[in-house]
């Protein structure tokens, strides 16, 4: 064995506490990385599996003849295919096909192939975009994957940075205690590389325990979180499916190997970096524990009155060791930011989960309506009876449940709106669009009544009804691409109608062959816009009161609206009230108590049971999230405790000197606490900035991903402030404990020991 | 035969108004087998001079030649090898590695070299220092005098050209002080070991062949005693 490895083993044998700390640091860093990898792997496997289960082919060629199909199957780019004729005697049908992984663009391929080979060119194509994307087939899938990879990479890099920092801090703390011994070794002739190698070997030996432990814990944590996710409807949300999706927990061996390699690399790099730092010090300075730092008098800063007091002394201490201040603050900033981001991330997740549950409840409670609305076998536009049935069920639907799924919707649906459609000036365009898109589109109309607008909306929004109409009129709004198509099209501009008093909306949803909404991109809303008053922006690609945001902000409790005859209503509530169905119900009733003309729907027994069941189902998820955040918090604070206690231990002589000249324990405590406040306040402020900025981007991304809950932005303000407060409390306790330990040894002995 | 040549060594700590000149153009030579004492008041620059000679501190200006080789022309790695093989350092506070036994502490330099321990040399030195029965003990199980003996053993183990002792008796009682100085003297006589010893004790200095007195970073007297 080499000198360095022998020394490393000696240190490992004699410094058990340090070993445990380093192992835990390595394990927690690896756990973080493995946890993310495991979740990613499991969600990916789940999405892939469910897409395959849903429909196992990449694409379909409609109206293809059998002979053309046979030609197509001979192409080397087709790996699997099936033909389904339209009828027993029909030679044409649908061809289901799968492509080779290296195909450039499936659509171009089919078109070119058809151009060259098909006898009948009257065919149409559709693709299973999700499956293509998950299997990374085709240029579009690759481009989409590249975009997602950038985000994933950013998250992974951030996690890796945090992991590296945790390991770095562990080695720094462990090595600081050995600084004198490194000095002795250097003075005896140990080279810089040998000293660095001691720490590297130490890291390598401890990795043997730390890395497998981290991998196991990370996998277990990932499995636990995923199993909870699987037991709820979160997975269905991520797979964007309306039905239950089976979760596939996947432990990816390549990911584990990558995590282990990264972990080992981080350990070695951290150990090497620490080793180089310590070996670069002068042996004598290390032995004397004297870095010969000259503290220059600050001419530009006249000494303040406080300088004679303990707070002044604390500030001087912070100023004299800027590196320590920087390292400690950075550790805290990272910890606070991590805690904050995880809190917000889980907050969004909880919100999504609640929403998806209430959405599911809606579908369970009024399944018929839901079926008709989304999955009608016939074109609902042509089936008045079916539509009327849907509206009848909607009328009986507890409004808040519906609101939970729609969010912020101040609109109403009545059966009148169905017949009304025909009278609209843009119905022709709508019908054309409907024709182009195919069946499966639905039309909804939303109204804003003058009387109620004046009663409620106008007062809170500060904009009168007349002003609203005068300034704005009605515009087509929706997602950017649709907006571009329609916004400047005079034909679809709606200037009002005798039957529509306030606003109007047209909603078009596209469905794929499985009945799933392909994309909200196809949704078009015609809403009362307050263009010129509020900003003309979209919060999301799905339904929202575009342009009326400022009004909504002023409402603070919700909006109520009706149609002619006031048959039913809906209410939009702030997120805090909408997360709990019970609270929604209460808020809803409280809100409407001044309007006795409304009949408030009663919860049915079945609803009550369902609500209780749903909320109970959520408890373990909340517990788990609490545990995850608690783990991160514990790691962060253990790190902080180590930094503070090591800092105090390094200054034992100085503290003993101060005590010997009459500083009381209380004064010492205040001095050290003031230093810690410096760290926690600085870190808290910076973490607050980072967390708010990071959540802004997180929100923006989530909005693009159509997270319903993010109609309400969620910024990480409370978590960093709470973390800073936690840091302060922890530092106070650590200082008290450290001083208590000092009390056991007399000042003289303490100074002698240091000598 | 000249073994050590110190040529115009200057050492400055700090910058600007905080400049401290620890050594100011110090020059002298030492011949093989000589035992030289460096004395002076606190802050005279004795320890700094010793550390520079031992290669653990770099001078601001000047050169040190040991066995004809310019010490500070070496790169970091070779300087470490120089410390390992050419000089042996003894400190006031022993500076033993606490988790290594006395024996392991002594053979550290050879381990750094990747060499097998020289059992014979270890035995001889341990007998000479009177610590043969203490080799398996940890530093915490040894008295101050014993720890300093181990420290001297370690310094001599690699048969260095130069033994450098920085106040080796500063932390010991008078009995142990006498014994340690006697041992160093013995190595000087029996092993022809060249020794430079920093002390502020006039009695110890007078036991050496030559005394160099320093003040404010300069040599103010250099006299041969015997």
Q: How far apart are CA A37 and CA A41, in angstroms?
A: 6
Question: Computed from CA positions of residues A255, A258, A259, A260, in that sequence, does the dihedral angle turn out positive or negative?
Answer: positive
* Termini Cα distance of chain A: 34
B84 and A CB contact within 8 Å: yes
pLDDT of A212 reads: 94
Q: How far apart are CA A272 and CA A197, in angstroms?
A: 7
Q: How far apart are CA B156 and CA B166, in angstroms?
A: 15
E strands in A23-139 = 59-65, 78-85, 92-99, 124-127
Nearest Cα residue in chain A from B96:
A184
Question: How confident is the model over A412-428, as pLDDT tens digits?
Answer: 223 333 333 344 444 45
pLDDT of A180 reads: 82
Highest mean pLDDT among A326-330, A355-359, A580-584: A326-330
The structure tokens listed for B219 are 């040599």
Check: CB of residue A106 under 8 Å from CB of residue A58.
yes
**DSSP secondary-structure letter at A602?**
P
The structure tokens listed for A720 are 């960093």
Mean pLDDT of A284-294: 60
Residue A293 or residue A193, greater confidence: A193
Residues forming a β-bridge with B223: B211
pLDDT of A689 reads: 86
* Chain A hits for B114, Cβ within 8 Å: 2-3
Closest Cβ opposite residue B114 in set A3, A180, A755? A3
Other CB atoms within 10 A of residue A581 CB: 24
Highest mean pLDDT among A376-385, A607-616, B141-150: B141-150
The answer, yes or no, to whether residue B38 has pLDDT greater than 90, is yes
pLDDT of A625 reads: 67
Collapse the DSSP code of A68 into the 3-class scheme (helix H, G, I; strand E, B; otherwise coil) and give the result: helix
Lowest mean per-residue pLDDT among A220-224, A450-454, A738-742, B131-135: A450-454
Averaged confidence pLDDT in chain B: 89
Please, which residues 292-311 of chain A have a Cβ atom closer than 8 Å to chain B? 292, 294, 296
The structure tokens listed for A145 are 């994957």
pLDDT > 90: percent of chain A = 4
The answer, yes or no, to whether residue A134 has pLDDT greater than 90, is no
pLDDT of A493 reads: 37
Residue A369 or residue B94, greater confidence: B94
Q: How far apart are CA A709 and CA A684, in angstroms?
A: 27
b (16+ CB within 10 A) / e for B9-46:
bbbeeeeeeeeebbbbebebebeeebbbbbbbeeebbb
pLDDT of A210 reads: 92
pLDDT of B13 reads: 86
The answer, yes or no, to whether residue B48 has pLDDT greater than 80, is yes
Q: How far is B113 from chain A (nearest CA, A)?
A: 8
Q: How far is A295 from chain B (nearest CA, A)?
A: 9
Please, which residues 262-291 of chain A have a Cβ atom closer than 8 Å to chain B? 282-284, 287
Mean pLDDT of B114-135: 89
Closest Cβ opposite residue B95 in set A11, A184, A190? A184
pLDDT of A131 reads: 86
CB contact under 8 A, B80 and A186: yes
Closest Cβ opposite residue A187 in set B83, B85, B98? B83
Averaged confidence pLDDT in chain A: 64
CB contact under 8 A, A188 and B82: no
CB contact under 8 A, A186 and B97: no
The 3-state DSSP composition of chain B as helix, strand, coil percent (nearest 5) reads 40, 30, 35
Check: CB of residue A271 under 8 Å from CB of residue A210.
no
Total number of residues shown for chain B: 226
Closest Cβ opposite residue A294 in set B14, B58, B81? B14
Q: Which residues contact B211 (CB under 8 A, 6 or more apart)?
A: B36, B37, B38, B39, B205, B221, B222, B223, B225
Check: CB of residue A338 under 8 Å from CB of residue A701.
no
**DSSP secondary-structure letter at A455?**
I
pLDDT of A624 reads: 65
Please, which residues 429-458 of chain A have a Cβ atom closer than 8 Å to chain B? none
Check: CB of residue A645 under 8 Å from CB of residue A738.
yes
Check: CB of residue A740 under 8 Å from CB of residue A677.
no
Mean pLDDT of A526-549: 27
Q: How far apart are CA B214 and CA A113, in angstroms?
A: 97
Instruction: Name the pLDDT band for A611 (thresholds 50, 70, 90).
Output: low
Q: Which residues contact B11 (CB under 8 A, 6 or more apart)?
A: B21, B22, B23, B45, B48, B52, B57, B59, B60, B217
CB contact under 8 A, B111 and A283: no
pLDDT of A174 reads: 79
The answer, yes or no, to whether residue A573 has pLDDT greater than 60, is no
Mean pLDDT of A613-627: 64
* Chain B hits for A294, Cβ within 8 Å: 14-15, 18
The structure tokens listed for A502 are 């306030």
pLDDT of A92 reads: 83
Alpha helices in A562-664 (DSSP H): 575-578, 581-592, 605-650, 652-660
b (16+ CB within 10 A) / e for A251-261:
bbeebbeebbe
B46 and A CB contact within 8 Å: no
Q: Which of B56, B77, B153 to mutate to test the interface with A (most CBs of A within 10 A)?
A: B56
Q: Which of B107, B112, B115, B155 to mutate to test the interface with A (most CBs of A within 10 A)?
A: B112
pLDDT of A433 reads: 45
Q: How far is B225 from chain A (nearest CA, A)?
A: 30
Matching residue, tokens 């079926």: A371
Mean pLDDT of A257-283: 88
Tell me whether strands A474-478 and A124-127 are parallel, antiparallel or unpaired: unpaired
Residues forming a β-bridge with A344: none
The answer, yes or no, to whether residue A505 has pLDDT greater than 60, is no
Q: How far is B109 from chain A (nearest CA, A)?
A: 6
The structure tokens listed for A9 are 């083993």
Check: CB of residue A494 under 8 Å from CB of residue A505.
no
Burial group, residue A661, by CB count within 10 angstroms (0-12, 13-18, 19+): exposed
The answer, yes or no, to whether residue B5 has pLDDT greater than 70, is yes
Question: How confident is the model over A424-480, as pLDDT tens digits?
Answer: 444 454 455 444 443 333 333 333 445 545 654 555 556 666 665 554 433 333 333
Please give the ipTM for the structure prediction.
0.84
Other CB atoms within 10 A of residue A451 CB: 12
* Chain A hits for B81, Cβ within 8 Å: 189, 191
Nearest Cα residue in chain A from B86:
A189
Domains of chain B: total: 1
Highest mean pLDDT among A304-318, A572-586, A656-670, B69-83: B69-83
Instruction: Name the pLDDT band for A350 (thresholds 50, 70, 90).
Output: low
Collapse the DSSP code of A397 into the 3-class scheme (helix H, G, I; strand E, B; otherwise coil) and give the result: coil
Alpha helices in chain B (DSSP H): 46-53, 76-85, 102-106, 108-112, 119-129, 144-157, 174-190, 202-206
pLDDT of A487 reads: 44
Closest Cβ opposite residue A3 in set B76, B112, B158? B112
Mean pLDDT of A682-696: 82
Q: Which domains does chain A have, with CATH numbers?
A: 1-55+134-292 (no CATH), 57-127 (3.30.70.920), 307-365+605-755 (no CATH), 399-602 (no CATH)
Collapse the DSSP code of A504 into the 3-class scheme (helix H, G, I; strand E, B; otherwise coil) and give the result: coil
Total number of residues shown for chain A: 755
Instruction: Name the pLDDT band for A739 (thresholds 50, 70, 90).
Output: confident
pLDDT of A357 reads: 52
The answer, yes or no, to whether residue A496 has pLDDT greater than 70, is no
Lowest mean per-residue pLDDT among A66-75, A203-212, A295-304, B196-205: A295-304
* Chain B hits for A193, Cβ within 8 Å: 77
A227 and B CB contact within 8 Å: no
CB contact under 8 A, A187 and B15: no
Other CB atoms within 10 A of residue A130 CB: 22
CB contact under 8 A, A193 and B154: no
* Chain A hits for B56, Cβ within 8 Å: 186-187, 282-284
CB contact under 8 A, B18 and A185: no
CA-CA-CA-CA dihedral for A397, A398, A402, A404, to nearest 10? -160
From A253, A266, A336, select the one nearest A27 (Cα to Cα): A266
Q: How far is A189 from chain B (nearest CA, A)?
A: 4
Q: How far is B107 from chain A (nearest CA, A)?
A: 11
Lowest mean per-residue pLDDT among A386-400, A499-513, B93-107, B188-202: A499-513
Q: How far is A642 from chain B (nearest CA, A)?
A: 23
CA angle A314, A308, A330 (to 5 degrees): 15
Cα A504 off chain centre by: 34
CB contact under 8 A, A187 and B95: yes
B175 and A CB contact within 8 Å: no
pLDDT of A206 reads: 92
Q: Which residues contact A183 (CB under 8 A, 6 or more apart)?
A: A281, A282, A283, A284, A285, A286, A287, A288
B111 and A CB contact within 8 Å: yes
Closest Cβ opposite residue B97 in set A15, A181, A282? A181
The answer, yes or no, to whether residue B20 has pLDDT greater than 50, is yes
Collapse the DSSP code of B219 into the 3-class scheme (helix H, G, I; strand E, B; otherwise coil) and give the result: strand
Inter-chain CB pairs, A–B, below 8 Å: 80
Tell me whether strands A510-511 and B2-13 are parallel, antiparallel or unpaired: unpaired
CATH number of B209's domain: 3.40.50.300
Residue B198's φ and ψ, nearest 5 degrees, are -95, 130
pLDDT of A257 reads: 92
Q: How far is B15 from chain A (nearest CA, A)?
A: 9
* Chain A hits for B93, Cβ within 8 Å: 755
Q: Which of B110, B111, B163, B164 to mutate to test the interface with A (most CBs of A within 10 A)?
A: B111
Residue B187 or residue A597, greater confidence: B187
pLDDT of A146 reads: 80
Q: Which of A188, A202, A653 to mutate to test the interface with B (most CBs of B within 10 A)?
A: A188
From A71, A128, A60, A122, select the one nearest A95 (Cα to Cα): A60
Nearest Cα residue in chain A from B158:
A188
Range of the domain at B137: 2-224
Lowest mean per-residue pLDDT among A86-100, A233-247, A506-520, A633-647: A506-520
B100 and A CB contact within 8 Å: yes
B107 and A CB contact within 8 Å: no
Residue A455 or residue A332, greater confidence: A332
The answer, yes or no, to whether residue A246 has pLDDT greater than 80, is no
From A543, A546, A569, A542, select the one nearest A558 (Cα to Cα): A569
Check: CB of residue B154 under 8 Å from CB of residue B189.
no
Q: How far is A272 from chain B (nearest CA, A)?
A: 17
From A197, A276, A267, select the one nearest A23 (Cα to Cα): A267
Nearest Cα residue in chain A from B48:
A284
Q: Which of B81, B97, B163 to mutate to test the interface with A (most CBs of A within 10 A)?
A: B97
pLDDT of A238 reads: 61
From A79, A46, A99, A105, select the one nearest A235 (Cα to Cα): A46
Instruction: Name the pLDDT band for A207 (thresholds 50, 70, 90).
Output: very high
């Amino acid at each position: 064995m080499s000198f360095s490895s022998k020394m490393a083993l000696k240190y490992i044998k004699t410094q058990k506490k340090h070993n445990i700390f380093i192992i835990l640091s390595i394990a927690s860093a690896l756990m973080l990385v493995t946890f993310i990898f495991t979740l990613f792997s499991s969600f990916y496997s789940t999405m892939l599996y469910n897409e395959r289960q849903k429909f196992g082919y990449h694409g379909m060629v409609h109206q293809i003849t059998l002979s053309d199909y046979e030609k197509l199957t001979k192409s080397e780019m087709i790996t699997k295919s099936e033909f389904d004729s339209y009828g027993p005697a029909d030679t044409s049908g649908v061809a289901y096909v799968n492509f080779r992984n290296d195909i450039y663009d499936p659509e171009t391929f089919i078109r070119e192939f058809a151009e060259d080979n098909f006898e009948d060119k009257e065919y149409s194509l559709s693709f299973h975009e999700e499956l293509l994307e998950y299997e990374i087939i085709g240029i579009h899938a690759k481009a989409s994957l590249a975009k997602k990879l950038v985000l994933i990479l950013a998250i992974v890099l951030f996690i890796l940075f945090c992991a590296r920092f945790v390991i770095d801090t562990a080695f720094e703390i462990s090595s600081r205690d050995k600084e004198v011994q490194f000095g002795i070794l250097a003075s005896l002739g140990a080279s810089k590389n040998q000293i660095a190698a001691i720490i590297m070997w130490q890291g390598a030996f401890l990795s043997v325990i730390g890395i497998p432990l981290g991998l196991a814990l990370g996998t277990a944590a990932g499995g636990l979180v995923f199993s909870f996710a699987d037991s709820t409807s979160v997975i269905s949300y991520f797979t964007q499916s309306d039905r239950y999706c089976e979760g596939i927990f996947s432990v990816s061996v390549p990911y584990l190997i990558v995590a282990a390699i990264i972990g080992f690399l981080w350990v070695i790099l951290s150990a090497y970096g620490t080793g180089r730092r310590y070996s670069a010090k002068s042996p004598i300075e290390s032995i004397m524990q004297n870095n010969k730092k000259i503290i220059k008098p600050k001419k530009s800063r006249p000494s303040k009155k406080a300088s004679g007091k303990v707070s002044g002394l604390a500030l001087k201490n912070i100023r004299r060791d800027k590196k320590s201040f920087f390292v400690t603050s950075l550790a805290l900033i990272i910890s606070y930011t991590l805690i904050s981001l995880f809190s917000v991330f889980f907050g969004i997740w909880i919100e999504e989960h609640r929403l998806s549950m209430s959405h599911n409840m809606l579908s369970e409670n009024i399944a018929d309506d839901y079926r008709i609305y989304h999955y009608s076998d016939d074109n609902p536009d042509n089936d008045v009876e079916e539509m009327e049935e849907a509206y009848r069920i909607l009328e009986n639907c507890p409004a808040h449940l519906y609101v939970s799924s729609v969010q912020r919707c101040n609109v109403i649906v009545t059966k009148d709106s169905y017949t009304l459609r025909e009278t609209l000036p843009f119905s022709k365009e709508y019908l054309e669009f409907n024709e182009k898109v195919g069946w499966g589109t639905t039309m909804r109309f939303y109204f804003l009544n003058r009387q109620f607008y004046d009663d409620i909306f106008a007062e809170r929004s500060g904009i009168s009804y007349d002003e609203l109409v005068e300034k704005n009129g009605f515009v087509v709004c929706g997602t950017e691409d649709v907006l571009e198509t329609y916004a400047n099209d005079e034909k679809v501009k709606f200037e009002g109608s005798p039957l529509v008093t306030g606003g109007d909306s047209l909603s078009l949803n596209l469905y794929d062959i499985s009945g799933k909404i392909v994309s909200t991109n196809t949704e078009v809303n015609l809403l009362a816009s307050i263009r010129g008053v509020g900003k003309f922006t979209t919060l999301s690609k799905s339904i929202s009161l575009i342009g009326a945001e400022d009004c909504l902000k002023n409402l603070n409790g919700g909006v109520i609206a009706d149609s002619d005859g006031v048959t039913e209503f809906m209410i939009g509530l702030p997120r805090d009230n909408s997360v709990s169905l019970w609270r929604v119900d209460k808020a809803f009733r409280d809100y409407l108590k001044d309007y006795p003309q409304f009949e408030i729907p009663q919860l049915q027994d079945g609803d009550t049971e369902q609500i209780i069941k749903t909320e109970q189902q959520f408890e373990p998820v909340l517990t788990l999230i609490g545990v995850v955040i608690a783990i991160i918090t514990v790691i962060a604070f253990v790190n902080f405790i180590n930094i503070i206690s090591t800092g105090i231990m390094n200054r034992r002589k100085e503290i003993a000197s101060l005590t010997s000249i009459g500083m009381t324990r209380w004064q010492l405590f205040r001095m050290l606490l003031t230093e810690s406040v410096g760290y926690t306040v600085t870190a808290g402020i910076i973490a607050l900035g980072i967390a708010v900025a990071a959540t802004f981007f997180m929100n923006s991304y989530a909005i693009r991903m159509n997270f319903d809950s993010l109609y309400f932005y969620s910024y990480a303000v409370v978590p960093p402030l709470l973390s800073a407060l936690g840091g302060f409390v922890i530092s106070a306790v650590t200082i008290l404990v450290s001083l208590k330990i000092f009390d056991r040894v007399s000042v003289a002995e303490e100074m002698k020991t240091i000598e | 035969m000249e073994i050590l040549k110190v040529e115009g060594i200057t050492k400055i700590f700090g910058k600007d108004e905080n400049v401290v000149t620890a050594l100011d153009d110090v020059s002298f030579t030492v011949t093989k087998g000589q035992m030289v004492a460096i004395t002076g008041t606190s802050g005279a620059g004795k320890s700094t001079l010793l550390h520079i000679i031992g290669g653990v501190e770099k001078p601001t200006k000047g050169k040190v030649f040991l066995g004809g080789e310019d010490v500070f022309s070496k790169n970091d790695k070779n300087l470490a090898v120089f410390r390992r093989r050419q000089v042996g350092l003894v400190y006031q506070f022993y500076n033993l590695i606490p988790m290594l036994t006395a024996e392991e502490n002594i053979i550290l330099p050879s381990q750094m070299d990747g060499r097998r321990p020289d059992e014979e040399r270890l035995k001889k030195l341990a007998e000479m220092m009177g610590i043969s029965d203490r080799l398996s003990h940890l530093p915490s199980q040894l008295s101050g005098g014993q720890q300093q003996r181990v420290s001297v053993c370690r310094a001599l183990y690699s048969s260095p050209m130069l033994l450098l002792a920085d106040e080796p008796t500063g932390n010991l009682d008078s009995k142990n002080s006498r014994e340690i100085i006697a041992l160093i003297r013995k190595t000087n006589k029996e092993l022809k070991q060249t020794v430079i010893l920093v002390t502020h004790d006039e009695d110890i200095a007078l036991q050496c062949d030559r005394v160099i007195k320093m003040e404010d970073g300069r040599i103010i007297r250099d006299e041969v005693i015997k």
